[in-house]
Amino acid sequence: MKALKTALIAGSSGLVGSQLLSDLLADQSIERVIILVRSPLDIRNNRLQQVVTDFERLDTIAEWFKGVDAVFCCLGTTIKKAKSKEAFKKVDYEFPLALATLSEQNNVNHFLCITAMGADVASGIFYNKVKGEAERDISKKKIPCITFFRPSLLIGNRKESRPGERIGIFIARILGFLFIGPLKNYKGIRIEKVAKAMHAEAQDPQPGLRIVLSGSMQ
């Protein structure tokens, strides 16, 4: 498969995306890293190109997908932050699908996307259902390699305060030893491990559809 020389990231200011950006820039074999941002990040690197993007009009920056080997979709929000189910679905379904469409149109070799452990179109939980719908519809795109990453509870330093999630992370750390065997996929996972898994998969792309579960990223 084609070597990873040019990468594009959507969601580079997020929890996993920011770590992934750091990892890719540290990899000297990658010649160019493009990030789609709402406003420029305070990062300087001669291999980094920041593209100020209106995610409602992704078609206007389609030219940046030309010559890209791998597109990383690290977009994600919460219903609380988005303030409505409709706004949540726009970030976690519509934008990733639009990115996949642009990847298909511009002959990108590999599309890598973070979803969630519970991703399932038949789920009664809205969050998991939307993640499942994103996987289903992105999978239909004619992209040589598509990889979905389903992390469990993400452990890292968040910019915004999420009290309930902090409690969950605290409990997950204390009871982590219980998550063995079939339960290993539900053990809280450090963002560094998710980013590392995405980086590794992009360096060794496998044709077709792959789903990487949280336990495999540990």
The CATH T-level fold of domain 6-152+191-217 is Rossmann fold (3.40.50)
Is position 129 annotated as part of the catalytic site? no
Please state the φ and ψ torsions of residue 37, each to the nearest 5 degrees: -130, 150
Does 19 score more than 70 pLDDT? yes
Q: Give 93's DSSP letter.
A: I
In this predicted model, what pLDDT tens digit does every residue of 129-162 receive, in sequence order? 999 999 999 999 999 999 999 999 999 875 655 5
Cβ contact 31:7 at 8 Å: no
Strand partners, 148: 113, 211
From 89, 93, 129, 131, the catalytic residue = 131
Please state the φ and ψ torsions of residue 148, each to the nearest 5 degrees: -105, 140
What separation in angstroms does the CA of 143 have from each of 54, 146, 165? Answer: 24, 7, 35
Q: Quickly count: other Cβ atoms within 10 Å of residue 210's Cβ.
A: 14
In this predicted model, what pLDDT tens digit does every residue of 157-201 receive, in sequence order? 756 555 554 545 444 455 445 445 565 677 889 999 999 999 999
Is position 89 annotated as part of the catalytic site? no
Q: Residue 160: its pLDDT value, please?
A: 54
From 127, 141, 184, 196, the catalytic residue = 127
